[in-house]
Structure 1
Amino acid sequence: MNKNAQQLLKGSINAVILKLLSQTERMYGYEICQKVKEMTHGELRITEGALYPALHKLEGEGILTTQTEVVDGRARKYYSIANDQQGNAVDRLAMIQNFLNQLQLILEPKDLISIPVK
């Protein structure tokens, strides 16, 4: 993935996290990284250095909750959308989708009539 795509993904990481967690009850960090890689056929990759600060920020805001379990002798921290924050997560995703729709109108205007300039 090139540097520009990496920057765009970094700015969208909260949306990626919320979308994945809204579709799955809970996930751990490495699992989120792998799911993004899988879904984009390797085109987008979230580094752990970008992911964990975003997860901690969302947890600090009360949007995510965590649960630690021991798996194969190692502690694994699972993240979930807090029960009382489901609506907030849906609202954030809708806001992001609206932004993407507006951006699409700018990047690929389809219904604009082209008037030649004299």
Structure 2
Amino acid sequence: MDAANGDYLRGTLKTIVLRLLAQQGRMYGYEITQAVEERTGGELTLTFGALYPVLHKLEDEGLLVTQSQEVDGRLRKYYLLTPTGSEVAIRKADEFERFIQLMRLLIRPTPDVAFGQ
């Protein structure tokens, strides 16, 4: 994907992070970036500059909490969903699925879809 697709990624970043944490339980920042890259076959790359502000915002909103753990002599910060965060993750994924369906109708209309009527 080209650089213009960063706009799409930024618009869905909260949903992506919430969904990954809902699936994995807990993750640290680098792990999140790698999961996005691996699951998309390298088509999407998530930078730390984009990720960490979203993680902090989700924490401020009470949707996730952090746990620190020492790994190889360094403190690693893990992110986990709160119960509210788990509910929001489900809702946001459902909303995004619906959005994708609507975009398909706009981008690839079927012959029976009449525009402007």
Both structures adopt the same fold (TM-score exceeding 0.5): yes
Give the structure 2 partner of residue 33 of structure 1. Answer: 33
Structure 1 residues 67 and 113: CA distance shift in structure 2, 3 A: closer
Runs of 4+ aligned residues of structure 1 deviating over 4 Å after TM superposition are none
Structure 1 residues 113 and 88: CA distance shift in structure 2, 3 A: closer
Max radius of gyration: which structure?
A: 1
3-state secondary structure, aligned to 1:78:
strand
Query: How many matched pairs?
Result: 114
Deviation at 1:111? 5.1
Structure 1 residues 113 and 2: CA distance shift in structure 2, 3 A: closer
- Listed one character per residue, the Cα deviations across residues 40-89 of structure 1 (whole Å, up to 9, x for unaligned) are 11110000000000010011000111111111111111111102432222
**Within 2, Cα distance between the matches of 1:84 and 1:102?**
27
Give the structure 2 partner of residue 23 of structure 1. Answer: 23
Q: TM-score, normalised by structure 2?
A: 0.89
Does 2:108 match 1:108?
A: yes
Aligned Cα RMSD in Å? 1.5
Identical residues among aligned pairs (%): 43
Q: TM-score, normalised by structure 1?
A: 0.88
